[in-house]
Amino acid sequence: MNSSLGSVLGFVSGLIIMAIVSAIMVEDLGEEKESLRKEVDFMRNTLNRITKIAPLRLLADKNGIQIGTCVSSSHLADRDYVETLTREFSVVTTENELKFEIVHPSPNSYVFEPADRIISVAEAHGMKVRGHTLVWHAQLPSWIVNGNFAKEEWKSILREHILTVVGRYRGRIWAWDVVNEAVDDTGSLRDTVWLKNIGPEYIELAFRWAHEADPGALLFYNDYGIEEVNAKSNAVYNLVKELLERGVPIHGVGFQMHVSLDNPPNPKKVAENIKRFTDLGLQVHITEMDVRIRLPATIDELIRQAQVYREILEVCLNSENCTAFVMWGFTDKYSWIPYAFPGYGAALIFDENYLPKPAYYALWETLFSRAIRNSPARTETTGS
């Protein structure tokens, strides 16, 4: 490796390790070590300046992948939120704004304004958009949940919904989660309003209609609990394989990756599982990663959490066709975890005050060291 790049890498990696180790020491030594605290602050400030010059999105770009987060329109008035979002990420997923309940609350009304606000922030900052989600069993309006229609009417409702929503953003949404969580934990098709009223072909139809509305968009099947090979991921594998065999326009599978530090995924097993999907010619996106911790989180747990983030990013970078690494939020100030998993939290890579956590540095350092290794300077200096 080019020696000056090598020493930059060594310096920065050292700084990261020192910042983390000294944070632990300061914690252990307690209040009396004010001088040490000042040095740690100095190191953290230096590190933060470096990461602001080379934020995650720049380093992800050098590694040929997208890095992203979900975004909620309700936080767009928070300046620190928008500043961190647009600095660090190259792709955003709409957290709730394109779900049926919000975008299509009654038969003849569509509400696009909240999604539009997210998408215009993304476009103003050269970020891609993942649209989430067209067909799901949750967050449905009551006219759908309590709907009493004939099968053909259900089909035309879903068709009109997909053509309208996808059509409105034609050319502007990079990837759609067309069908979300259609498989249950045993590996059977989930018993949803769509399965009951249309039958299993609703999945294929949804992909075909989405493709009709925007032939340029990447179309994904998205689910949780499919990180490793198991009954559910086997069922998803068989489902998408069959769709491909029948010529259905599907381009990828989203691994949500909502995981717990109590039981983190095994990176080797995740890699094996991703491989069988990419071997089908599909892309894989990590779509909703968070790593929840039982509160209060200790420094030791935050460091183990950083390791889980690092491992999954590395798996994605090492997989031929894993093209995006997206987290379900970026600041612990706003995360769905404390509501969905009471007693858990601290699941994201920035704390409530937008300060980077060890997990942020782990992602940063992984992308940075690989970017340096991949840098053209390396080939220029070989053989000299």
- The answer to the question of residue 227 lying near ligand XIL (CB under 6 A) is no
Can 288 be counted among the known catalytic residues?
A: yes
Is 233 or 256 the residue whose CB approaches ligand XIL more closely?
Answer: 256
Instruction: Verify cis geometry, omega within 30 degrees of 0, for the bond prior to 133.
Output: yes
DSSP line for 142-174: HHHHT----HHHHHHHHHHHHHHHHHHTTTT-S
Nearer to ligand XIL, 110 or 334 (CB): 334
Given the structure tokens 């404390």, which residue do they identify?
A: 338
Sole binder of ligand XIL in the list 22, 51, 73, 180 (CB under 6 A): 180
The catalytic position among 181, 204, 227, 365 is 181
Closest CB 288 distance from ligand XIL, rounded Å: 6
Closest to ligand XIL by CB, 209 vs 336, is 336
Report if residue 344 touches ligand XIL, rule: CB under 6 A.
no
Q: Does 192 bind ligand XIL (CB under 6 A)?
A: no
Q: How many CB atoms lie within 10 A of CB 166?
A: 23
Residue whose Cβ sits closest to ligand XIL: 336
Residue 2 binding ligand XIL, by CB under 6 A = no
CA dihedral defined by 161, 166, 169, 170, rounded to 10 degrees?
-140
Q: Does 221 bind ligand XIL (CB under 6 A)?
A: no
Please tell me the distance from the alpha carbon of residue 66 to that of residue 208, in angstroms, as a whole number: 26
Longest Cα separation, the chain: 75
Q: How far is the CB of 101 from ligand XIL (least distance, A)?
A: 10
Please pick, from the candidates 19, 91, 95, 282, the single residue that binds ligand XIL as defined by CB under 6 A: 95
Q: Of the two residues 194 and 336, which places its CB atom closer to ligand XIL in the complex? A: 336
Whether the CB-CB separation of 5 and 377 falls below 8 Å is answered with: yes
- Tell whether residue 96 is a contact of ligand XIL (CB under 6 A): yes
d(CA 44, CA 20): 9
- Report in angstroms how near the CB of residue 92 gets to ligand XIL at its nearest: 13
- What 346-353 contacts at long range (C-beta under 8 Å, 24+ apart), as own/partner pairs, is 346/292, 346/293, 346/295, 346/296, 346/297, 346/301, 346/302, 346/305, 347/290, 347/291, 347/292, 347/293, 348/290, 349/309, 350/84
Cβ nearer to ligand XIL, comparing 288 with 332:
288
> What are φ and ψ of residue 333, in 5° steps?
-65, -35
Residue 181 annotated to the active site: yes
How many residues bind ligand XIL, per CB under 6 A?
Answer: 6
**Partners of 313 in beta bridges:** none
Distance of alpha carbon 36 from alpha carbon 26, whole angstroms: 7
What is the Cα–Cα distance from 237 to 243, expressed in whole angstroms? 10
Of 204, 227, 288, 311, which one is the catalytic site residue? 288
Shortest Å distance, C-beta 206 to ligand XIL: 15
As a whole number of Å, the end-to-end CA separation of the chain is 12
Interface with ligand XIL, residue 256, by CB under 6 A: yes
Of 207, 277, 336, 350, which one interacts with ligand XIL (CB under 6 A)? Answer: 336
Query: Between residues 120 and 139, which has the closer beta carbon with respect to ligand XIL?
Result: 139
Q: Is 311 in the site for ligand XIL (CB under 6 A)?
A: no
Please give the positions annotated as active site: 181, 288
Site residues (CB under 6 A) for ligand XIL? 95-96, 180, 256, 288, 336
